[in-house]
């Protein structure tokens, strides 16, 4: 990464929610994020996750207002939301750039799980629950 590329560091909780956004309900964990991380997470998930996946849709539902604000920014509309303005500035673009989000150790975030990986993860969750 070049020196002028601004990295946006996110918490371990953010990374966990992002990785499992299309696997299980993450709404309660999302509510615990800072507003800044929530907007960043929603932006990233809009970009990376399949919005036809029922789990993804479920995880977006409680944050409809925030999601609509993000859509407006993506449609070149100006925002008065100070959190979104900060994210736009910090990502170094006129939009919220998601390619430069890194974890606490500076590593790029993993790609979302494929349909097959989601299926396997759900089977593992069921198997873990049954073994208790």
Residue 105: pLDDT over 50:
yes
Q: What is the pLDDT of residues 86-103, one digit of tens each?
A: 999 888 777 888 888 999
How many domains does the chain fold into?
1
Evaluate whether residue 1 is within a structural domain: no
| Domain membership of residue 65 as a residue range | 8-130
Evaluate whether residue 3 is within a structural domain: no
- Residue 2: the pLDDT is 42
Evaluate whether residue 2 is within a structural domain: no
Residue 127: pLDDT over 90:
no
- Section 1-30 average pLDDT: 86
Q: What is the pLDDT of residues 65-87, one digit of tens each?
A: 999 999 999 898 889 999 999 99
Contacts of 41 (CB under 8 A, 6+ apart): 10, 14, 17, 18, 30, 33
Model confidence, pTM:
0.87
C-beta of residue 57 within 8 angstroms of C-beta of residue 41:
no
């Amino acid at each position: 990464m070049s020196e002028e590329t601004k990295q946006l560091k996110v918490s371990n909780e953010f990374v966990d929610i992002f990785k499992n956004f299309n696997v299980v309900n993450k709404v309660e964990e999302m509510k615990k994020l800072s507003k800044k991380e929530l907007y960043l997470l929603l932006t990233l998930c809009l970009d990376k996750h399949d919005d036809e996946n029922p789990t993804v849709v479920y995880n977006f539902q409680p944050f409809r207002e925030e999601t609509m604000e993000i859509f407006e920014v993506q449609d070149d509309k100006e925002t008065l939301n100070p959190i979104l303005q900060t994210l736009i500035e910090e990502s170094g673009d006129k939009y919220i750039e998601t390619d430069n989000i890194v974890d606490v150790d500076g590593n790029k975030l993993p790609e979302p799980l494929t349909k097959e990986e989601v299926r396997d993860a759900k089977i593992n969750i069921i198997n873990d629950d049954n073994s208790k």
